[in-house]
Amino acid sequence: MGWLVWQTVGDPGGDGTAGQASPSAGRSASQGPGGTEGTAGGGDGKQDDSLGDGRTAGGQERSPSPSASAPAASGPLKGKVVVIDPGHNPGNFKHTTEINRKVDIGTNSKECDTTGTSTNAGYTEAAFTLDVARRMRAVLEEQGATVRFTQDGDRPWGPCVDERARIGNKASADAVVSIHADGSATGNRGFHVILPGSVHSGAADTRPIVGPSRDLGERIAGNFLRATGSAPSNYIGGGTGLDVRKDLGGLNLSTVPKVFIECGNMRDAKDATLLTSGAWRQKAAQGISEGIVSFLRG
Ligand SMILES: [Zn+2]
């Protein structure tokens, strides 16, 4: 697609993450397919100001927070707000009490967050998601979008899944994407996009966002496939690359179009080779971003 200036994106953030093996890294291996993301979500709000509220403070255009981007002077996405939710947090391993606290996700209560998974060599999902998110930010800002993060490696843990959802809501985001990689059995490969199912219970009411979120998710899946060459999941979604879930707080509590993407299976050696490659992560970021742009431009 000609609108992307690939060469400007480079390799932001490096990886900085290989070899950050954690003694807890193996924990999530038992979570099984589709189980890793019990967690899109929310937080305690401590850093809300840096994530969304600052935009409107005193009528100012934006806050100086590193989590809020500087909108480009022009571009096709000028005026559009995209919230990127890098799944988990590199510090969650050290804050088990905090992240195990239950939060209300409408349909039931669920842990605040999880540690996420990792490759067998110890490259963590949290590091992966932050890296892809930062690459996406560069691509989307180039298009003029205002980009906000739910966390940018700038807080010790979390936020919780409910707060992750609220950040998108408060920002009145035009699109929200939660970035993840799965922790499934070896041999399970490929990506899938998770769409919100129709939920109306307690604080959760996804009925208005089911349709637009599916549109967003289908565009992301198609562009991710083309950009990375990765096949849709061979273990979830029947080859469509799409799944629908009603158990994720980050989706249940969203009032704006939102999807998750599981970019691959960190526990499969072949997928892990891709996920640990900066060049591949750049393609992933471009594919996801192109899906968002396609959605926002209609
Ligand atoms: Zn995850």
Compute the average pLDDT of residues 114-130.
98
Average pLDDT over residues 131-150: 97
pLDDT at residue 16, as a whole number: 37
Query: 117 C-alpha vs ligand 1 centroid, how far in Å?
Result: 7
CB 117, CB 182: distance < 8 Å: yes
Token match 């205002």: residue? 146
Distance CA 61, CA 57 (A): 8
All domains of the chain in start order, with CATH: 26-297 (3.40.630.40)
Looking at residue 74, its pLDDT comes to 82
> How far does the centroid of ligand 1 lie from the alpha carbon of residue 55, in Å?
28
> Ligand 1 center to residue 116 CA distance, Å?
5
- 80-89 pLDDT, tens digit each: 999 999 999 9
Pairwise CA distance, residues 25 & 171, whole Å: 33
Span 4-45, pLDDT tens digits: 443 334 344 344 333 333 333 333 333 333 344 443 333 333
Neighbouring C-beta atoms of residue 229, cutoff 10 Å: 11
The three state secondary structure string of 61-129 is CCCCCCCECCCCCCCCCCCCEEEEEECCCCCHHHCHHHHHCEEECCCCEEECCCCCCECCCCCEHHHHH
Concerning whether 141 is annotated as a catalytic residue, the answer is no
The CA radius of gyration of the chain, in Å to the nearest whole number, is: 17
Q: Please give all residues whose CB falls under 5 A of ion ligand 1, grouped by chain where several chains appear.
A: 36-37, 87, 116, 180
* pLDDT at residue 262 in the model: 98
How far, in Å, from the CA of 87 to the mean position of ligand 1? 5
Q: Which of 163, 218, 262, 290 is catalytic?
A: 262
CA of 113 to the centre of ligand 1 (A): 9
| Averaged pLDDT for residues 243-249 | 97
